[in-house]
Amino acid sequence: MVLSSTSADHGVFDSAGGVGSPHDDAIVTVNDEGTVFTAAIELHVGDTEYLVLDLDNVSDVQANAIMELNVPAGIDFEVDNLDGDISEAQLNHKSWLMKLDTVSLGSSGDLEIAISPKDDLRFGFYTITGPIVQVAN
């Protein structure tokens, strides 16, 4: 399981479900191997932004992976399956075990991370990173 290599498949939105307006003060990048993402987002207290990641199954069997989020202090976040193709279970505060349910080669699913600054967070740009490591079934 890897992140889609096409940057346009990932984004930050102002509404849940990957709908609404794309955030004009955010950028999402993915490394060449598709195993780490970095999102830089301008955050304001009272707002919730939604980071949407497209995950691809690059094998011909069910894909399992662990994602660990590196989120600055003062930011709340919640991970959710967006389209029903990914099952996720939280392992600890910043780690999730994920399964891409579709077992066909090239299948994909979307994962949504809701990001909300706490009341005492200063206005500014914040970086959220996350490695995704495939694990055995």
3 state DSSP class of 17: helix
The mean pLDDT value for 20-45 works out to: 84
Report pLDDT digits (tens) over 61-110: 788 899 999 999 999 999 998 777 788 899 999 999 998 866 565 677 88
Domain count, the chain: 1
How far is it, in rounded angstroms, from Cα 55 to Cα 60? 15
126 and 118 Cβ atoms separated by less than 8 Å: no
> 96 with 65: CB under 8 angstroms?
no
Please compute the mean of the pLDDT values over residues 120-127 and round it to a whole number. Answer: 92
pLDDT > 90: what percent of the chain? Answer: 35
Neighbours of 5 (CB within 10 A): 13
Res 1 pLDDT > 70: no
The pLDDT of residue 79: 92
- Note the pLDDT of residue 103: 57
Query: Residue 110's domain spans which residues?
Result: 2-135
If you count them, how many residues does the chain have?
Answer: 137
* Domain harbouring 85, CATH code: 2.60.40
Closest CA to 87 of 50, 48, 131, 55: 55
Looking at residues 10-17, what average pLDDT do you find? 70
Q: Looking at per-residue confidence, does 131 or 85 come out higher?
A: 131
Give exposure, 25-61, as e/b (b: 16+ Cβ within 10 Å): ebebebeeebbbbebebebeeeeebbbbbbbbbeeee
7 has a pLDDT exceeding 60: no
